[in-house]
A and B are shown apart, each in its own frame.
Chain A
Amino acid sequence: MTAPVMAPDSAPAEASVAPAGADAFRGRNRPPWFVLIPSTAAALVAVAPIWYLVDRAIERGWGEVADELWRDSTRDLIVRSVGLAVAVTASSVAVGVTAAWLVVRSDLAARRVLGVVFALPLAIPSYLAAFAWVSWRPGLAGFGGATLVLTSVSYPFVYLPAAAALRQLDPAQEEVARSLGRRRLDVATRLTLRQIRPAISAGALLVALYVLSDFGAVAAMRYEVFTWVIYGAYRAGFNPSRAAILASVLVVVAMVLVVLEAKARGRAAQSRLGGGAARTGTSVSLGRGSVLAWTFVIAVIGVAIVFPVVRVLQWVATFESTDVVWSDVGRALTSTVSLAVVAGLTTVLIALPVGILAARHRSRTSAAIEGATYVTHALPGIVVAISLVFIGVRLLRPIYQETPLLLLGYVVLFLPLAVGSVRSSIEQSSVRVEEVARSLGCRPMSVVWRVTVPLAAPGLAASGALVMLSTMKELPVTLILRPTETNTLATELWRFTSVSDYANAGPYALALVVFAAIPTALLSMAGSTRTQESSRG
């Protein structure tokens, strides 16, 4: 996303050490057509909602736009939204990195199991978690409650890449640093954190964009941020034009975040040149700190998983679920899973060229293309949904409210989730290996299929799993774009909770959490198995 990480001044003097990065950037960095064209198309699809936003925003003239933006309330909204995003991102980084370090580098008991468990909150929809809390203690509503819930559902976005990056670190560097007289904490902050910074900042970006776009948690917690007002403009104000103007502000905020993230990621990210993986580090003995560590583990798991799940189980148990139509649950489950699988595959397939472009052909253009896939990720689901209505009825009327358009909606929503993960997994495999394949007579496109994709397979699987579980939880786009007779677990859950029918909602909530937990578990396992295999050598 940034300008090339291998800056011209750092590389050329020593071509035999850093040829791939430096040379590729210089000379033959022109991406092949089968990478450039699809990734440009993917970027265009991703930014398509902006067409709608602009069209709607200026519908009532620029005066209206200016009036809307010039209000004090708009400034307050920016402060509140950004404030919430900052708070949740900071606490997610703290929780996510701590969890990653405990799982990867400490001698904590059962860390293999914990490695999977820490990722599971991804399976819990924010609206479900928020409702679980606020229906228990209405007083939690507000900034604190929103921060708690959003952190508890989104810290895995930091935890997963941070854990993967920690596994990749060469422990020799830490050992050298300690031998040079650095204390352990010093090493952790100066060396280790700095090295996994690209992973942390990529995860933090996703958290921040997630917070900006989330409605479920802030609605239940009654915290007035942009999404709250945007939904209000649709639901109560019947004023799509106002919603579009405010949503445009979110896009601008997202652009700023994307640029900031690129800077924060720094120059550390780069293509691997070496062959094998580094050996796995020795685990740090926690000693007395293990009490503290277990307090952390129990607190995080208790808040993020146990509490919401127990609440759901309570609904199932307390209410007489006699009139639950189990065949309907089954049908909703089937369509949810099949939509999620197809959405996962489609999104990864579309993310692949973007990931290749971002990892292998760094330039301003590729940075712009990758960044473009992120900017609409800050948009609330309802805005993406209505914008796809806008595009659907104009350009794609034959598939309007048909499965293909719904899938397109999922692609727009979740492309950034896949792009980041695909990019980093391609960055982790060696450029040299691809070059060797070329010299063995393999054409560029077949290098992708015979070398790049198999090597990045765990990362591709992980990003597919991430898209799958996100698709399962997704509500607004599904509700508005689905084929008329298609119900998913999320839409059925909404249908019953919207009339406070928890007896019927319970089974859907439970099925949703359980089945979203499956790809989540795969996701965290994909990261750890990869390292185990390559570190064996």
Chain B
Amino acid sequence: MADPTGMQPGGMQPGDSAGATSPALEIRGVTKSFGHHLVLAGVDLVVPARSVTAVLGPSGGGKTTLLRIVAGFDHPDSGTVTIDGEIVAHGAGGRAPEERRVGVVPQEGALFPHLSVAGNVGFGLRRHDRRAREARVAEVLELVGLSGTERKRPHELSGGMQHRVALARALAPHPAIVMLDEPFSSLDAGLRAHVRAEVLDALRASGATAVIVTHDQLEALSIADQVAVLLDGRIAQVATPSEVYRFPTTLAVGTFVGEAVVLRGELLRASASGAEMVIRARCALGDLPISPVGTSSAQHEHHEHLAPGTVLDVLVRPEQLILSSHRDGAERAEPAEGAEGVVIGRQYYGHDAVVSVRLRSGAVVTARLQTTLLPDTGDTVRVRAAGSVAAFPSREG
């Protein structure tokens, strides 16, 4: 590495010196287009040091372009990239990739096929200090759980092992950030969870700041400290996984990060519930409370400025829906709560199942249910939603 900090003793993370207040990576207003196609339309993102950030977006949404811009393989049309307080990309100018201290783990690993594992891992280390290099190689290989593979050739390793070597190679020179591009997509489902856990353990153990680019919602939600949702060339939301899932800032984010039932509704007048004001939306499932004030979500404040009667898109997660059979529970349920419908289909997954219900209003909702008591197709059921929901002024309304 060009940077002299490349071989700090003891594997101390260089980001430490910058202090906790300074983010490891800061992206401001980055745009990039290919021909007439705008891929990044002004991306802003702050990645705190020592955190794991997932950049989640649909395939072809510009995630990889963003990664390449941070790594220096591409130049943004405008905007800046700052790493450890230093601006490394400013429009078409900036530092070369080799001067950025960004470790990259490409999708397929991209190991150097002509070098051994040790040769790969030690590639970015200074060449003259052989003993220090060997020590560091052994250290990071241990970190990724591959001690003793130094002399193997890349093609002698399994796909998962190749991945971990690629990670070790990226970590070895103590980069300011490690960027992983769809790191687990090429692995089969059984292996994926295992490798994911191992890689994440290694990342956390190294104390590195990591950015993982992925189109897989489950992956992003399960491994990241913060999730940045990249939609239509912009970061639509940056928040913790649960916040992104429960309190999406837009309907698009909400539908993208997980399965969702979207119902047309309208805003009701705010009503007091104890000390708090509760805002409800009226929809096919009845009057549902919109996520309460107090979350960091900005949507609520926004709703307070909306006139009652505003047409809304109400987003309900399938696992929020509770189905009760007409036969046993109909009398006990309050008439106002929920709505009646007919089961029109179900998919069985073993640990749970998804049931589709056509409501009287004509809307179709899907509910994620435990598999113990499943209604049959054709059954009439009552559907109600538990907890608060997200709602957004409808664009069509």
Closest to B92 in A: A27
Q: Is A441 in the interface zone, CB < 8 Å from B?
A: yes
B154 at the interface (CB under 8 A from A): yes
A23 within 8 A of B: yes
Chain A neighbourhood of B157, CB < 8 A: 537
Q: A440-B123, A441-B1, A536-B155 are in contact. Are A12 and B37 (CB under 8 A)?
A: yes
> What is the bound-complex CA distance between A439 and B170, given in angstroms?
8
In the complex with contacts A26-B34, A275-B110, A442-B65 CB distance below 8 A: no
Known: A22-B34, A439-B71, A537-B155. A14 touches B65 (CB 8 A): no
| Contacting residues, chain A, for B207 (C-beta < 8 A) | none
Q: Pick from A9, A27, A442, A457: contact of B98, CB below 8 A.
A: A442
Among B35, B65, B110, B173, the residue within 8 A (CB) of A430 is B110
* B104 interface residue per 8 A CB criterion: yes
- Chain B residues with CB under 8 A of A27: 74-75, 92
Find out whether the CB atom of A439 lies under 8 angstroms from the CB atom of B154: no
Chain A contacts of B137 at CB under 8 A?
A: none
Scan residues 74-100 of chain B and give those whose CB is less than 8 A from a CB of chain A.
74-75, 92, 96-100
The yes or no answer to B3 lying at the interface (CB within 8 A) is yes
Is A16 touching B63 in the complex (CB atoms < 8 A)? Answer: yes
Query: Closest CB-CB distance, B354 to chain A, in whole Å?
Result: 29
Asked if B73 CB lies within 8 Å of chain A CBs, one says yes
Q: Indicate if the CB atoms of A436 and B104 lie closer than 8 Å.
A: yes
A275-B111 contact, Cβ under 8 Å, with A16-B60, A439-B98, A440-B103: yes
Cβ-closest chain A residue relative to B57: A16
Chain A hits for B219, CB < 8 A:
none
Which residue of A436, A438, A534 is within 8 Å of B155 (Cβ)? A534
Task: Please name all residues of chain B whose beta carbon is closer than 8 Å to the beta carbon of A442 when the two chains form the complex.
Answer: 98, 123-124
User: In whole angstroms, how far apart are the Cα atoms of A12 and B68 in the complex?
Assistant: 14
For the complex, is B256 an interface residue (Cβ under 8 Å from A)?
Answer: no
A15 with B109: CB separation less than 8 A: no
Residues of B within 8 A of A16 (CB): 59-61, 63-65, 181-182, 215
B64 close to A274 (CB less than 8 A): no
How many chain B residues touch A (Cβ–Cβ < 8 Å)? 55
Q: In the complex, A154→B162 CA distance in Å? A: 43
A15's partner among B39, B99, B101, B103 (CB-CB below 8 A) is B39
A437 within 8 A of B: yes
Contact A433 B112 (CB under 8 A): yes
* Docked complex Cα distance between A19 and B59 (Å): 12
The answer to whether B111 touches A28, judged by C-beta atoms less than 8 angstroms apart, is no
Q: Within 8 Å of chain B (Cβ to Cβ): is A13?
A: yes
The residue from A11, A438, A537 contacting B34, defined by CB atoms under 8 A apart: A11
| Residues of A contacting B108 in the complex (Cβ-Cβ under 8 angstroms) | 273-275, 432
Q: Does A451 contact B (CB under 8 A)?
A: yes
Chain B proximity of A195: nearest CB distance (Å) = 21
Verify B60–A15 contact, CB threshold 8 A: yes
A276 with B39: CB separation less than 8 A: no
Residue A144 is within 8 A (CB to CB) of chain B in the complex: no
Contacts A28-B75, A437-B112 given; indicate if A432 touches B123 (C-beta within 8 A).
no
Chain B hits for A443, CB < 8 A: 2, 96, 98
A261→B305 CA distance, assembly (Å): 67
For the complex, is A454 an interface residue (Cβ under 8 Å from B)? yes
Q: Tell me if A17 counts as interface (CB < 8 A to partner B).
A: yes
Question: How many whole Å from B118's CB to the nearest CB in chain A?
Answer: 14
Among B60, B102, B173, max chain A CB count under 10 A is at: B60
Would A15 and B110 be within 8 Å (CB), given that A276-B155, A439-B72 are in contact? no
- In whole angstroms, how far apart are the Cα atoms of A455 and B123 in the complex? 15
Taking CB atoms and an 8 Å cut-off, the chain A residues in 443-502 that contact chain B are: 443-444, 450-451, 454-455, 457
Query: Which of the four size classes fits the interface of chain A?
Result: 35 or more
Is the Cβ of A433 less than 8 Å from the Cβ of B2?
Answer: no
B96 and A438: CB pair below 8 A?
yes
The answer to whether A436 touches B34, judged by C-beta atoms less than 8 angstroms apart, is no
Q: Which of A15, A26, A430, A439 contacts B64 (CB 8 A)?
A: A15
Check B37 against A13 for contact (C-beta < 8 Å): yes
What separation, in Å, do the CA atoms of A455 and B114 have in the docked complex? 6
Residue contact B65 to A19, C-beta cutoff 8 Å: yes
- Which of these, A12, A14, A275, A438, contacts B72 with CB under 8 Å? A438
Confirm or deny: A237 has a beta carbon within 8 angstroms of a beta carbon on chain B. Answer: no
Min Cβ gap B162→A in Å is: 8
Chain B residues with CB below 8 A from A186, complex form: none
Chain B CB within 8 A of A8 CB: yes
Whether B155 contacts A23 by the Cβ 8 Å rule is no
Q: Is the CB of B34 within 8 A of A439?
A: no
B34 touching A8 by the CB < 8 A rule?
yes
Residue of A14, A22, A276, A441 most packed against chain B (CB within 10 A): A441
Given contacts A15-B39, A26-B34, A536-B155, contact A438 B123 (CB under 8 A): no
If A19-B65, A23-B65 touch, whether A451 touches B112 (CB-CB below 8 Å) is yes
User: Is B156 in the interface zone, CB < 8 Å from A?
Assistant: yes
Complex-state Cα separation, A14 to B182, whole angstroms: 14
- Asked whether any CB of chain A lies closer than 8 Å to the CB of B169, the reply is yes
B6 within 8 A of partner (CB): yes
A432 and B110 contacting across the interface, CB-CB below 8 Å: yes
Q: CB of A175 within 8 A of chain B?
A: no
CB <8 Å contact, B110 and A23: no
| Inter-chain contacts of A444 with B (CB < 8 A) | 96, 98
Given the known interface contacts A275-B111, A435-B71, A440-B123, the answer about A12 and B98 at a Cβ–Cβ threshold of 8 Å is no
Q: Which of A502-537 contact B (CB under 8 A)?
A: 533-534, 536-537
Listed residue (B73, B169, B181) with the most chain A CB atoms within 10 angstroms of its CB? B73
Q: Is the CB of B110 within 8 A of A454?
A: no
A152 vs chain B, min Cβ distance (A):
37
Interface bits A1-39 vs B (CB < 8 Å: 1, else 0): 000000011011111110100110011100000000000
- Using CB atoms, name the residue of chain A closest to B39: A15
B154 touches A537 (CB 8 A): yes
Q: Does B113 contact A (CB under 8 A)?
A: yes
Greatest chain A CB density within 10 A among B35, B72, B112, B123 is at B112
Q: Tell whether B62 is near chain A: CB-to-CB under 8 Å.
A: yes
Question: B60, A14: Cβ atoms under 8 Å?
Answer: yes
> What separation, in Å, do the CA atoms of A440 and B100 have in the docked complex?
9
Please report the C-alpha to C-alpha distance between residue A537 and residue B111 in the assembled complex, in whole angstroms: 13
Given the contacts A15-B62, A435-B97, A455 and B113 also touching, CB distance less than 8 Å = yes
Task: Give the complex CA separation of A9 and B215 in angstroms.
Answer: 23
CA distance A425 to B101 in the complex (A): 30
**A298-321, CB < 8 A from B:** none
A-B contact pairs, 15 of them (CB 8 A): A15-B64, A15-B65, A16-B59, A17-B59, A19-B74, A275-B108, A275-B154, A432-B106, A435-B68, A437-B123, A439-B98, A439-B104, A440-B170, A443-B96, A455-B112
Top 7 closest A-B pairs, CB basis?
A537-B155, A12-B34, A440-B124, A441-B1, A438-B97, A16-B64, A432-B110
Given contacts A8-B34, A23-B74, A438-B97, 5 further A-B pairs with CB under 8 A are A17-B60, A23-B73, A439-B72, A440-B123, A443-B96
